[in-house]
Amino acid sequence: MKPITYSELKGNSKQFYALAAVLAVFILIALACAYYMEHSGHHVTGMTNQIVWGMPHVFAIFLIVAASGALNVASIGTVFGKAIYKPLGRLSGLLAIALLIGGLIVLVLDLGRPDRLIVAMTSYNFKSIFAWNIFLYVGFMVIVAAYLWVQMERRMNRFAKTAGMLAFIWRLVLTTGTGSIFGFLVAREAYDSAIMAPLFVAMSFSLGLAVYILVLLGTYHASDRDIGDVVTRKLGRLLGVFIGAVLYFTAIQHLNNLYAAEHIAVERFILLDGGIYTLLFWAGQVVVGGIIPLFLVFRPADPGTYSRNVILASILVILGGFAQIYVIVIGGQAFPLILFPGMEVSSSFSDGVVSAYAPSLPEIGLGIGGVALAGLIVLLGIKVLRFLPVSLANAAIDPHHKAASSES
State the pLDDT confidence band at 326, using cuts at 50, 70 and 90: very high
For residue 352, what are the domain limits? 6-388
What is the C-alpha separation between 134 and 128, in angstroms, rounded?
Answer: 11
What's the pLDDT at 406? Answer: 37
CATH number for position 197: 1.20.1630.10
171 located within any domain: yes
- Residue 62: name the closest of 360, 330, 376 by CA: 330
What's the pLDDT at 112? Answer: 78
State which of 1-5, 27-31, 219-223, 263-267 shows the largest mean pLDDT. Answer: 27-31
| Higher-confidence position of 175 and 338 | 175
258 located within any domain: yes
Mapping DSSP onto H, E and C, the string for 71-115 reads: CHHHHHHHCCCCHHHHHHHHHHHHHHHHHHHHHHHHHHHHHCCHH
Q: What is the average pLDDT across 119-135? A: 76
pLDDT tens-place string over residues 131-159: 788 888 999 999 999 999 999 988 888 89
Longest dimension (CA), the chain: 79
What percent of the chain is predicted at pLDDT more than 90?
66
10 located within any domain: yes
Domain count, the chain: 1
Answer yes or no: is pLDDT of 407 > 60.
no
What's the pLDDT at 67? Answer: 97
393 located within any domain: no
109 located within any domain: yes
Answer yes or no: is pLDDT of 168 > 90.
yes
pLDDT tens-place string over residues 30-67: 999 999 999 998 889 999 888 999 999 999 999 999 99
**What's the N-to-C CA distance of the chain in angstroms?**
18
Answer yes or no: is pLDDT of 405 > 50.
no
Q: Which of 30-39, 196-205, 243-252, 346-355 has the lowest mean pLDDT?
A: 346-355
Answer yes or no: is pLDDT of 260 > 70.
yes
Answer yes or no: is pLDDT of 15 > 90.
no
State the pLDDT confidence band at 161, using cuts at 50, 70 and 90: very high
397 located within any domain: no
1 located within any domain: no
403 located within any domain: no
